[in-house]
Amino acid sequence: MIPVILSGGSGTRLWPLSRSQYPKQFLPLVSDFTMVQETVLRIQSVPGMKAPIAICNEAHRFLMAKQLHEIDAIPSAIILEPMGKNTAPAVAMAALSASSPDEVLLILAADHVISDTSAFQSAIVKAEQLALQGLLVTFGIVPHCPETGYGYIKQGKATGHSAYQVASFVEKPDLATAKHYLESGEYLWNSGMFAFTAGSFLEELEKFNPDMLSCCRQAIASAKVDMDFVRVDKEIFSKCPSDSIDYAVMEKTDKAVVIPLDAGWNDVGSWSALWEVREKDRQGNAIHGDVITINTQNSLIHAEHKLVTVIGLDNVIIVETKDALMIASKDSVQDVKELVGKLSKANRDEVNIHQKVYRPWGHYDSVDTGDRHQTKRIVVDPGAKLSLQKHHHRAEHWVVVKGTALVTRNDEKTLLFENESIYIPLGTVHCLENPGVIPLEIVEVQSGTYLGEDDIVRYGDQYGRV
């Protein structure tokens, strides 16, 4: 069985923690591991589980590669989508990348929480047996409340292996309908997780959406392999129809079956959902960071950098990051997406990036910014280096705080140690490298007429960036 990790979401409802360039699946929201790492770790002990195929946005490729390598989960491929086309094309490309049409694919979202790993693994084993019979299996979550935020699956006749025929998929209901679904005992929440052989899925996709399959075949056939990455052709993939697995295949096929799953599942689609899965104190508060509360109940308070004090509040969400503070009623958290839309229209950087920005070579923090200057704290991983580059509009001063720096300026190479500094004049071709075994930390002061990150002309880059 090959796990296929779908990681195309942007997680806008968990702003300001989740941002477009660092979305929720790459954050440690419920444990010391990130959500994508948790997704892989919870299935590693399933017998016969092979190396995963990950599918993500091209902008997240280094995050995906790094986080998988951190847990020693070496992927068989990381397929890069040049643009989002929903789940059906993503799964089609994974199926086309399988070594055999008889390989069973386990389709998982990268950002779900499942607290009962044993029950989930048991359901996976059952799903594999059904998939080998040519069936397309989905996992339906046993509902515990009349939820209006999920689609539902109506169970049909029992088929064996604790599964049922899919009678129908139904859209998100209103509250009265959701209560009826819960009382009937015939409906399950649609989890968006699946299992089927590569050949079975492709056969059904060809039957119901041959244009999509044709585009995916061309995109994979023309893809270029670069390190861990499979780079799909942008021009070809842009012509691919966009659709979900549900609409493209599962709602139309007569081979769909559902396995009821009661394993503490949560898709963490909002701050209230995250409050539900986090550990709480006696007052019902889920607290992270330096937080002091008085007469505060049933709230989520997440502090990243500052002391946060809360007095006399109930049922609220408070999230503090280095560059943003969000306060909301827990009943209004679905409006966070609307808030992000307003920030996006205003061209606010806080939609896309944190003050700490991750790169394949390490990360940097923006410390201070003015009209003609900017100060950053830069950390370069051992053995890593920035691209050979120059800037048209700014000069840079570097001061080594910790570690050893190998600096290239035009044809000159200089080795710098702690408390030593160097000047990079405007227009100078330069490179920063960490030749040591500990992280290199420097303070960079930029000065010039324009300080944007797009003022970079690259002459060479070991990470394949333009």
**Residue-level length of the chain:** 466
Residue 173 belongs to what H/E stretch?
none
Is there a contact between 284 and 314 (Cβ–Cβ < 8 Å)? Answer: no
Nearest C-alpha neighbor of 92 from the set 105, 108, 109: 105
Percent of the chain beyond pLDDT 70?
Answer: 100
Give the model's confidence band at 62: pLDDT under 50 very low, under 70 low, under 90 confident, else very high.
confident
Residue 431, pLDDT score:
95
pLDDT tens-digit series, residues 71-96: 999 999 999 998 889 999 999 999 99
Q: What's the mean pLDDT in 259-276?
A: 92
Placement of tokens 């029992």 in the chain: 158
Tell me the one-letter amino acid at 431.
Answer: C
Give the model's confidence band at 59: pLDDT under 50 very low, under 70 low, under 90 confident, else very high.
confident
Q: Which residues contact 221 (CB under 8 A, 6 or more apart)?
A: none
Is there a contact between 79 and 53 (Cβ–Cβ < 8 Å)? Answer: yes
Residue 465 pLDDT > 70: no
DSSP assignment letter at 244: -
| Domains of the chain, start order | 2-266 (3.90.550.10), 274-342 (no CATH), 356-460 (2.60.120.10)
> Measured between alpha carbons, how far is 378 from 28 in angstroms, rounded to an integer?
22
Is there a contact between 90 and 81 (Cβ–Cβ < 8 Å)? Answer: yes
Is there a contact between 172 and 150 (Cβ–Cβ < 8 Å)? Answer: yes
The residue ranges of DSSP E strands in 71-210, in sequence order, are: 77-81, 104-109, 113-114, 136-141, 152-160, 163-170, 187-197
Placement of tokens 């490179």 in the chain: 431
pTM of the model: 0.86
pLDDT tens-digit series, residues 155-198: 999 987 789 999 999 998 889 999 999 999 999 999 999 999 99
Q: Which of 96-110, 331-345, 449-463 has the lowest mean pLDDT?
A: 449-463
Residue 355 pLDDT > 90: no
Is there a contact between 167 and 181 (Cβ–Cβ < 8 Å)? Answer: no
Residue 454, pLDDT score:
84
Residue 396 tokens read as 């840079």
Residue 138, pLDDT score:
96
Is there a contact between 380 and 457 (Cβ–Cβ < 8 Å)? Answer: no
The CA-CA-CA angle for residues 155, 160, 164, to 5°, reads 10
Residue 260 pLDDT > 80: yes
Distances (CA, A) of 58 to 61, 226, 302, 349, 462: 5, 12, 29, 19, 16
